[in-house]
Amino acid sequence: MFTSEKGVVEEWLSEFKTLPETSLPNYATNLKDKSSLVSSLYKVIQEPQSELLEPVCHQLFEFYRSGEEQLLQFTLQFLPELIWCYLAVSASRNVHSSGCIEALLLGVYNLEIVDKQGHTKVLSFTIPSLSKPSVYHEPSSIGSMALTESALSQHGLSKVVYSGPHPQREMLTAQNRFEVLTFLLLCYNAALTYMPSVSLQSLCQICSRLLMQ
């Protein structure tokens, strides 16, 4: 990391600490336009030994729990890179280097599994019926499958998938890692339309790396 990039991150860390609460919405709006900051933060996350990694992870968590939607999305854009770095460091058995990343991932997970009243959330998803047209298909083009779907829909059958309730987690283990990371990617996917291109590119690169392992 260059000195100039380190300076950008350090300025960002100190700026938020002195920010009045009344200035938070305006600060959050302007943050998304700071491309040099985003680029520098990616470099910090990609360097597990960086002295800035722990304060960066702490501030990203503060953003997430601030309740400001744009600050939440700012943190969320780094989620694919954070997951990859956590997995890579865990595979190298250098647990100490992944401690702050693990804490951030767990913090986001534990915030997302409950609603504003602190009750555990159960998410539901209705799988679209192929018998009904959408922007992606016409039932007539599917052939006999459309008849099967049509027959099912006439009987009022629909496929609903549920996610949750999910338990609070204090640490990531081999037993719960897949569940926690899957849920985090579900949260990322729900905000996909708000993610900048650099975040989507990071997601594609990480998927490619995982498939090659």
pLDDT tens track for 135-149 = 766 766 655 554 555
Phi first, then psi: give them for residue 120, nearest 5 degrees: -65, 140
Q: Distances from the Cα of 90 to the Cαs of 37, 95, 188, in angstroms?
A: 27, 6, 22
Which residue, 18, 96, 114, is CA-closest to 53? 96
The Cα–Cα gap between 100 and 89 comes to 12
Same-domain pairing of 67 and 129: no
pLDDT at 81: 95
**pLDDT tens, residue by residue, 154-177:** 544 567 777 778 889 999 988 999
Helical packing angle, 69-76 and 24-31, nearest 10°: 40
Tell me: the pLDDT tens digits for 9-43? 999 999 988 888 888 889 998 887 899 999 999 99
Around 81, how many Cα atoms within 13 Å sit in the side-chain half-sphere? 21
Interval 75-132: pLDDT, tens: 999 999 999 999 988 887 665 667 899 999 999 999 999 888 778 888 777 776 666 7
Same domain, 106 and 193: yes
pLDDT score recorded for residue 155: 46
Task: Tell whether 109 and 33 lie within a shared domain.
Answer: yes
| 199 shares a domain with 110 | yes
Averaged pLDDT, 41-52: 91
Q: Where are the beta strands (DSSP E) in the chain?
A: 123-127, 159-163
DSSP state of 32: T
**Same domain? 71 vs 103:** yes
Is residue 85 a contact partner of residue 45, using CB atoms and an 8 Å limit? yes
Task: Confirm if 103 and 170 have CB atoms less than 8 A apart.
Answer: no
Angle CA(33)–CA(86)–CA(168) in degrees, nearest 5?
95
CB count within 10 Å of CB 118 equals 6
Answer for the pair 59, 107: CB distance below 8 angstroms, yes or no: no
Kindly state whether residues 34 and 50 are assigned to the same domain. yes
Range of the domain at 47: 1-116+165-212
Which tens digit of pLDDT belongs to each residue from 163-212? 778 889 999 988 999 999 999 999 999 999 999 999 999 999 999 988 88
Nearest alpha carbon to residue 40 among 86, 65, 8: 8
Query: Does the model's pTM come out above 0.85?
Result: no
Residues 59 and 101 in one domain: yes
In a shared domain, residues 111 and 89: yes
User: Which of 102, 73, 124, 67 is CA-nearest to residue 172?
Assistant: 102
Q: How many domains does the chain have?
A: 2
How high is the pLDDT of residue 163? 76
